[in-house]
Amino acid sequence: MWSLLRPGLVLFIILTIITGLLYPALVTGIGRLLFPQQAAGSLIVKDDKIAGSELIGQNFSAPRYFWGRLSATAPNPYNGMASGGSNFGPLNPALLEAVKARIAALQAAGSQPDSLIPVDLVTASGSGLDPHISPAAAYYQVERVARARSLSADRIRQLVEAQTEMPLLGFLGEPRVNVLKLNLVLDQIR
């Protein structure tokens, strides 16, 4: 009996060591060597403190900051451990209520009440954690942020333009603005 079990057990141990220990250690080492910032979570450090990650949205709600997309992670917004969409279909009353609440919040904060609101300001992304908004969504908020900070709208528009990331290789994806990075640049203006 042992002669039948021994080869299978030895193979199980060898494959466990290779696929469970050696391969993950090798891939982690290569990642940390070639992409140290990304392998560490793409963290943004400000004043020797972690301000957040480039990859996970943050909950900004003060009028002096740009607001990101809604988070679909409940009950805590932008919870990386609960990544996933809300699974609300376009006719779901809960989605409609969330959109109405966000529209009301944007209008109450004074973000161009007479213009169309970009869809990414009133809906969550597929992961519920998207750190980016479209340039249109950023420009929509310029007047509110400028007023709240007593700065010119032109100055804020220049910051949005400077922080707009173009598509990868010029054609993969859409232009986007990382909300955390933009807000950190805003905080540096006196």
Let me know if 189 is exposed, middle or buried by CB neighbors in 10 A (0-12, 13-18, 19+).
exposed
156 Cβ contact list (under 8 Å, min separation 6):
142, 145, 146, 149, 186
Domain housing 174: 42-188
Between residues 97 and 12, the one the model is more confident about: 12
Output the pLDDT for position 113: 63
- In this structure, the answer to whether residues 15 and 88 fall within a common structural domain is no
Q: What pLDDT, in 10s, does the model give residues 129-174?
A: 889 999 999 999 999 999 999 999 999 999 999 999 999 888 898 9
- In this structure, the answer to whether residues 80 and 151 fall within a common structural domain is yes
- In this structure, the answer to whether residues 25 and 55 fall within a common structural domain is no
- In this structure, the answer to whether residues 97 and 138 fall within a common structural domain is yes
Q: What pLDDT, in 10s, does the model give residues 69-117?
A: 888 777 777 777 777 666 777 788 888 888 888 888 888 887 666 678 8
- In this structure, the answer to whether residues 119 and 66 fall within a common structural domain is yes
Whose CA is closest to 131, among 104, 165, 161, 105? 165
Show the beta-strand stretches assigned E in the chain: 43-46, 49-53, 132-133, 164-165, 176-178
- In this structure, the answer to whether residues 12 and 52 fall within a common structural domain is no
Average pLDDT of the segment spanning 12-30: 96
- In this structure, the answer to whether residues 91 and 159 fall within a common structural domain is yes
Residue 180: pLDDT over 80 = yes
- In this structure, the answer to whether residues 74 and 106 fall within a common structural domain is yes
Output the pLDDT for position 86: 66
Average pLDDT of the segment spanning 172-180: 93
- In this structure, the answer to whether residues 60 and 27 fall within a common structural domain is no
- In this structure, the answer to whether residues 6 and 71 fall within a common structural domain is no
- In this structure, the answer to whether residues 26 and 92 fall within a common structural domain is no
- In this structure, the answer to whether residues 19 and 113 fall within a common structural domain is no
Output the pLDDT for position 128: 72
Number of domains in the chain: 2
Output the pLDDT for position 101: 86
Q: What pLDDT, in 10s, does the model give residues 26-71?
A: 999 999 999 998 888 888 888 888 888 888 888 888 999 999 988 8
